[in-house]
Amino acid sequence: MWVVWLLFLVFPAVSAFQADRPLALRVLGVGVVVVFGAVYIIGAWRVMESGDFSSRTVGGFFVALLAITTAGGVLLGLDALAFGPFLASFAAFSLPAPWHWVSGAVVVLGGVAVILAADAFAAWGGFLVILVSVTVGVNVVRFLIDQSYDYDDVQQGLVLAQERERVARDVHDVLGHSLTVLSVKAGLAERLIDVDRERARAEIAEIGRIARESLGEVRATVGGLRAAGLAGELAEARAALSSAGIEVHVDGVPADVDPSHRTVLGWALREAVTNVVRHSRAARCRIGLVAHALTVDDDGVGVAGQRRGHGLRGLEERVTETGATFTLEVGPGGQGTRLRVSWPT
């Protein structure tokens, strides 16, 4: 790509060779053009293709190009202005902001000063328009490239933030439920150890099983692999509510639920039951499953004056992302709490 633009150096080279000067000066003039082209292409490759944007490398090549341009002014006269667009392009794509703008302005102003000093505006005015256009154009392209990089950085930051929220939400859902069940079962085992050792031993074994499963769920959740199964969550909900001494009734079966909603409702059921066990002080809980909705009612203390915790906020975000409606309100008859997740039918 960089080599293509070197074709424009043919014009000052031909002009230098055809100038009315001694042969040695004409050869030196052509040599200056060749050296400029070589330094430009090497510098462009070193900076752009290899990604070496260190200040020493960029500054060194840019200074070298300026020095060659100055020498070209002595040997080529006004023909050395042909180096201007190359200087502006090199500066635009290699120097850091705002120095590429400053360098572009210096190149343009230098060209204007040389043309005016030589009283050659009539002959070189068209070239000056080209120089200004190239300088502005390459710097605008550089600006757009920088903006695209900034946009990509913002997008990556948003993706990272969303992933952190997902992991935090999923880990909360997994650990919140599991730790609640473990706490209930540990309390039950402690009460039973002096009155029913066999049942206490069974509860302790169940605690171990739940702990191992929870560890696996956390690992899968962090890896983004875990999906809540509605049937499994319903079985866990029955066990957790029963262990907490809460009478549970279930209307419907997981097979009644639209398959596309079962994973989300599995998460919703887990969080709902966790809150019933942990906060409601309920005696009874009723779970309702239909094709496009889940309802969890309890007869506990209700939601009046309570703030939604991280788990319920995360659940609301999760279900609304799927187009569902999340409702948390006073239960039937003005008692307890009703949590409902539903989709339009």
Distance CA 232, CA 229 (A): 5
Task: Please report where in the chains the tokens 């005015």 appear, as a residue.
Answer: 125
Q: Look up the pTM and report it.
A: 0.45
Query: Which position has the higher pLDDT, 298 or 74?
Result: 298
Give the amino acid at 324: A
Distance CA 238, CA 248 (A): 7
Task: Please report where in the chains the tokens 């009539």 appear, as a residue.
Answer: 122
Hey, what CATH topology would domain 230-345 get?
Answer: Heat Shock Protein 90 (3.30.565)
Q: Give the model's pLDDT for residue 76.
A: 80
Query: Which position has the higher pLDDT, 308 or 76?
Result: 76
Q: Give the model's pLDDT for residue 187.
A: 79
Distance CA 41, CA 47 (A): 10
Q: Give the model's pLDDT for residue 225.
A: 45
Give me the mean pLDDT over the 294-314 stretch.
Answer: 78
pLDDT in tens, 57-115: 777 888 888 888 888 887 787 888 888 888 888 888 777 778 878 888 888 888 888 88
Q: Give the model's pLDDT for residue 284.
A: 93
> What band does 119 get if pLDDT is binned at 50, 70 and 90?
confident
Q: Tell me the average pLDDT of the chain.
A: 80
Give me the mean pLDDT over the 115-133 stretch.
Answer: 84
End-to-end CA distance of the chain: 58
234 Cβ contact partners less than 8 Å away, ≥ 6 residues apart: 250, 254, 269, 287, 289
DSSP string, 105-134: HHHHHHHHHHHHHTT-HHHHHHHHHHHHHH
HSE toward the beta carbon, residue 241, CA cutoff 13 A: 28
pLDDT in tens, 163-176: 666 666 666 666 66
pLDDT at 29 over 90: no
Would you list the domain boundaries of the chain?
A: 2-119, 230-345
Distance CA 324, CA 260 (A): 12
Q: Give the model's pLDDT for residue 159.
A: 62
